[in-house]
Amino acid sequence: MRAIVIPAYGGPEVLKLTDLPVPQPGEGEVLVKVEAIGVNPADGKWREGRYQAFAPVPMPHVLGYDVAGTVVSGEGFAAGTRVAAMLHPFTKGGYAEFAVVSAASIATIPDDMSFATAAAIPCANLTGLQLVETRLQPAAGQRVLITGALGNVGRSALFAAARRGVHIIAAVRADRAEEALAAGAAEVAAIGEDWTGEPFDHAIDTIGGADVAPLMRHLRPGGRIVTASDVPIPADDLPATPEFDGVIPDGAQLAELVRAVASGALPVPVGKVLPLEQAAEAQQAVAAGGNRGKIILQP
Ligand SMILES: NC(=O)c1ccc[n+]([C@@H]2O[C@H](COP(=O)([O-])OP(=O)(O)OC[C@H]3O[C@@H](n4cnc5c(N)ncnc54)[C@H](OP(=O)(O)O)[C@@H]3O)[C@@H](O)[C@H]2O)c1
């Protein structure tokens, strides 16, 4: 099968199209014929070797967490079933024509959902959902700041928080304020501008780094900062220590997200669809930002 591998850590130039044997599913696993692959910011970070100290990968390595396609064989799903899945972050394997996925990480998708949309859902939307539902669990009426609220993780956090009746303050670039309000935020905090409104009860961060630190100083005493970003928020005089949350593949939660996307309750925009061969361009686009939706690869 055609697959993109990294033979070693490095820049986008290490991504190579190659021929690999089709992987075989083991117990509790399913072989999926991949029709679309979601590109995540983490893909480029794994490629660079940012996580090698705690999770070195065997080389050559196939990157890619998010796939959508049809079941070929394996446990619990009939051949031909249309599915989406998040692969395990340590083993990955999505940038290929076929991928082996844990049956517990799979959700079926409706006939009228495109594979591109389905592949855009798993990692980012599970992250946003888990930040809200598993990690923070905010109460209705609480004032929660969500940074990067129009990004792929942020939109999902916004959806999950709104569903709980949270008062959402979306922290976005100043020129996207209207869009954030239309997406369900009650208020908007422009990143880089001083916040003069009421303090926040909690913060959900999807950006990290120094740019969000001034906003975090408006947290009420006892408030929490939960973050998906591996870029530390400078800790000086922050009212709370940021709690990092790492996403976990979960088929039941993914099925819930697929239903929300299918019903129109959770918008998951697709930014660009590129052929698998252009994995390097796709990762560069994701790293550069400014995309109005998910970047998708097609094998
Ligand atoms: N912990 C986990 O398990 C986990 C899982 C998934 C993702 N993540 C991490 O979560 C982060 C977000 O991922 P994503 O997929 O949501 O990325 P994304 O779709 O690019 O969303 C990021 C959003 O934040 C905005 N943003 C970034 N830097 C900004 C800044 N300095 N000022 C204002 N706005 C800024 C972006 O706007 P522009 O596009 O205009 O820059 C974009 O709207 C990444 O760091 C990713 O690695 C972690």
Closest residue CA from atom 4 of ligand 1: 228
Is the beta carbon of 247 within 6 A of some atom in ligand 1? yes
End-to-end CA distance of the chain: 10
What pLDDT band is residue 179 in, cutting at 50, 70 and 90? very high
pLDDT in tens, 121-143: 999 999 999 999 999 999 999 99
- Answer whether 24's CB lies under 8 Å from 282's CB: no
The rounded distance, in Å, linking the Cα atoms of 205 and 172 is: 11
Q: How far is the centre of ligand 1, averaged over its atoms, from the C-alpha of 206 (Å)?
A: 5
Q: Domains (ranges, CATH) in the chain?
A: 2-120+269-298 (3.90.180.10), 124-244 (3.40.50.720)
What pLDDT shows up at residue 189? Answer: 98
Residue 227, pLDDT above cutoff 90: yes
Pair of tokens at residue 292: 């109005």
- Answer whether 295's CB lies under 8 Å from 272's CB: yes
In the predicted model, what is the mean pLDDT of the chain? 97
- Answer whether 209's CB lies under 8 Å from 235's CB: no
Q: How far is the centre of ligand 1, averaged over its atoms, from the C-alpha of 144 (Å)?
A: 17
What pLDDT shows up at residue 236? Answer: 80
Closest residue CA from atom 7 of ligand 1: 124
Best mutation site among 46, 136, 191, 207 for ligand 1 pocket (most ligand atoms within 8 Å of CB): 207
pLDDT in tens, 72-108: 999 899 999 999 999 999 999 999 999 999 999 999 9
What pLDDT shows up at residue 33? Answer: 98
The rounded distance, in Å, linking the Cα atoms of 33 and 156 is: 27
Report the predicted TM-score, pTM, of the whole model to 2 decimal places.
0.98
The rounded distance, in Å, linking the Cα atoms of 78 and 119 is: 20
**Closest to 4 in 3D by CA, of 67, 75, 85, 60:** 60
Is the beta carbon of 207 within 6 A of some atom in ligand 1? yes
Residue 246, pLDDT above cutoff 90: yes
What pLDDT shows up at residue 63? Answer: 98
**Closest to 163 in 3D by CA, of 283, 247, 86, 263:** 263
Closest residue CA from atom 31 of ligand 1: 211
State CA 251 to chain mean position distance.
15
What pLDDT band is residue 198 in, cutting at 50, 70 and 90? very high
Is the beta carbon of 38 within 6 A of some atom in ligand 1? no
Is the beta carbon of 264 within 6 A of some atom in ligand 1? no
- The residue-averaged pLDDT of 195-223 equals 97
Q: How far is the centre of ligand 1, averaged over its atoms, from the C-alpha of 290 (Å)?
A: 10
Residue 266, pLDDT above cutoff 90: yes
